[in-house]
Amino acid sequence: TKTLEETLREVIPPKQEQLKKLKAEHAQTVVGDVKVENIIGGMRGIKAMLWEASVLDPIEGIRFHGMSIPECREVLPPAPGGKEMTPESMLWLLMTGKVPTPQQSQQLSAELAEKGELPSFVEKLVDSFPKTLHPMTQLSMGVAALNHDSAFQAAYERGVKKTEYWAPTLEDCINLVAKLPSLAARIYRNVYYPDRPLVPIDRNLDLTGNYSNMLGFGNNENMTEYLRLYIALHGDHEGGNASAHTSHLVGSTLADPYLAYSAALNALAGPLHGLANQEVLRWQIAMQKEIGDTITHDNIKEYLWRTLKSGRVVPGYGHGVLRNPDPRFVALQDFCKTRPDLQASPTIQLVQQTAEVAPEVLKEHGKTKNPYPNVDAASGCVLYHYGLTEFKYYTVIFGVSRALGAVTQLVWARALGLPIERPKSYSMDALEKLIKN
Ligand code: AMX
């Protein structure tokens, strides 16, 4: 059976041809226009990036190489003994556009386990951080430091040809994905359980099996399965979101994948983006405390209005592109619906009931273009129920996941020879001049 690199060697040339043809035949074809509102509105709506692995439809949600989330859950291989698609299977799909065989997926798991250990200087670096340093800052710094051993950087210094850039980039990307669980789990242990012994990588486990084990949930197969689904689902959300775009932008300078992804993690750490999952749980728990045991739609509604009237956003609702409930939210809810223990959890019930009430309240409030839940509305409550109650850590799990899409793009950007990013900006005066002409 073919390895990931061998499969990529087959799929890259036809894509290179496709791009050549697009350039030759359509370089001047207009596919949209730019309005002043796009320029002052965070570039929203401008079609301005090439991103191969996934496309986000405002109504349907994300598709990975054309496949919806339910389709992926159906066909992507699970871990041995499990049911949920694994992040390795998703990575294979994102990178190659093909569904891996169970054997290929397991082969990739074995490669990741083999490469999963951290260099000792990174372990020492992470161990030296104060416990009070946010886990996302720790993750970003740890990832940046991994560039010490970058294969791309070494190849670039040797003067490797541009057409060969993608292969050492792939090597770095696989190493990065492999090392993220050890790094992320070390941060968790250092910050919250400094007396616990560190758990070594088990070569017989998949990436998430090891991550769950290192976090201390190895004997809870439901939690491990949830993490597999969570990490596979959050892997990619097309290119324009802040973390993915940051990784692509930094990578377009030919900075190595560790530097590019470290930058992406800093974008993910903002409360309007990945940090929202930490905020959702904090907000739901505060609601739970205030409302007490008798949860009704009316008292949830009242709490929602209080949040909005105090000038805050409702975390976990709204989206830059989506105009419907997020299918990732639906998939996580679906996971809960099949498990009676989760259905009985008061926190999960509160999250579900909030999702029944919030869209109407947000519509009445009349500001957000999308009153429906996004993935972050649901992702934290299951972690909380299974005992991972430290919300400040939640975005780190998102950070372990988002690497799947980011590294895929780094490999493809180099395989396709995409240039350094450089959009045009205007001052307001220059914009007014442009309008007058
Ligand atoms: N609660 C209250 N107000 C909201 C809102 C929410 N959940 N979502 C949007 N709005 C407000 C905006 O703040 C904005 O108000 P303003 O005109 O006073 O500035 C107005 O509605 C219009 O915003 P929009 O065009 O609908 O959204 P956007 O594209 O500018 O922003 C997002 C998208 C996600 C940042 C925004 O919906 C938000 O802040 N949501 C809450 C935080 C959150 O859940 N983020 C996670 C998103 C998913 C992810 O990246 N992980």
Give residue 283's Cα distance to chain centre.
22
Domain of 319, in residue numbers? 277-385
Summarize the confidence of residues 408-433 as an average pLDDT: 98
Summarize the confidence of residues 250-265 as an average pLDDT: 98
Residue 347: give its domain's CATH number. Answer: 1.10.230.10
- What's the CA gap between 143 and 407, in Å, rounded? 13
* Mean pLDDT score across all residues of the chain: 97
Q: Is residue 296 part of a domain?
A: yes
pTM, whole model, 2 decimals?
Answer: 0.96
Summarize the confidence of residues 314-333 as an average pLDDT: 95
- What's the CA gap between 306 and 179, in Å, rounded? 43
> Around Cβ 304, how many Cβ atoms within 10 Å?
22
Q: Determine what percent of the chain is predicted with pLDDT higher than 70.
A: 100
Flag whether pLDDT at 293 surpasses 90. no
The pLDDT score that the predictor gives to residue 294 is 85
Q: Which atom of ligand 1 is nearest to the CA of 242?
A: 50
Which of 233, 238, 319 has the most ligand 1 atoms within 8 A of CB, as the residue to mutate?
319
Rg (CA), the chain: 22
Ligand 1 pocket, residue 138 CB under 6 Å: no
> Per-residue DSSP letters for 16-74?
HHHHHHHHHHHTT-------HHHHHTTTTT-------SEEEETTTEEEETTB-HHHHHH
Summarize the confidence of residues 11-31 as an average pLDDT: 98
Summarize the confidence of residues 25-54 as an average pLDDT: 96
Ligand 1 pocket, residue 374 CB under 6 Å: yes
Amino acid found at 145 = A
Summarize the confidence of residues 310-334 as an average pLDDT: 95
Ligand 1 pocket, residue 372 CB under 6 Å: no
Question: What would the two tokens of residue 431 be?
Answer: 């914009």
CA of 319 to the centre of ligand 1 (A): 6
Nearest residue (CA) to ligand 1, atom 15: 367
Amino acid found at 387 = G
The pLDDT score that the predictor gives to residue 55 is 98
pLDDT confidence tier of residue 367, bands split at 50, 70 and 90: very high
Nearest residue (CA) to ligand 1, atom 30: 320
Q: Is residue 318 part of a domain?
A: yes
pLDDT confidence tier of residue 437, bands split at 50, 70 and 90: confident
Q: Is residue 437 part of a domain?
A: no
Amino acid found at 297 = H
Ligand 1 pocket, residue 363 CB under 6 Å: no
Greatest mean pLDDT range, 177-191, 285-299, 331-345: 177-191
Query: Phi and psi of 403, rounded to 5°?
Result: -60, -30
Summarize the confidence of residues 171-195 as an average pLDDT: 98
- Of 201, 213, 210, 199, the residue nearest 88 (C-alpha): 210
Domain count, the chain: 1
Tens digit of each residue's pLDDT (9 = 90 or more) over 385-410: 999 999 999 999 999 999 999 999 99
The pLDDT score that the predictor gives to residue 135 is 98
The pLDDT score that the predictor gives to residue 47 is 96
Flag whether pLDDT at 316 surpasses 90. yes
Q: Is residue 352 part of a domain?
A: yes
Alpha carbon distance, N-terminus to C-terminus of the chain? 61
> Around Cβ 33, how many Cβ atoms within 10 Å?
8
Q: Is residue 418 part of a domain?
A: no
Q: Is residue 110 part of a domain?
A: no
Tens digit of each residue's pLDDT (9 = 90 or more) over 137-151: 999 999 999 999 999
Summarize the confidence of residues 76-96 as an average pLDDT: 98
Q: Is residue 261 part of a domain?
A: no
Flag whether pLDDT at 428 surpasses 90. yes
Tens digit of each residue's pLDDT (9 = 90 or more) over 217-230: 999 999 999 999 99
Q: Which atom of ligand 1 is nearest to the CA of 320?
A: 29
Ligand 1 pocket, residue 40 CB under 6 Å: no
- Residue 64 is inside which H or E element, if any? strand 61-64
The distance between the two most distant Cα atoms of the chain, rounded to a whole number of Å, is 68
Give the residue numbers marked as catalytic. Answer: 273, 319, 376
Amino acid found at 136 = M
- Of 246, 249, 252, the residue nearest 267 (C-alpha): 246
Flag whether pLDDT at 292 surpasses 90. no
Residues 6+ apart with CB under 8 A from 233: 69, 328, 331, 332, 375, 401
Ligand 1 pocket, residue 320 CB under 6 Å: yes
Q: Is residue 379 part of a domain?
A: yes
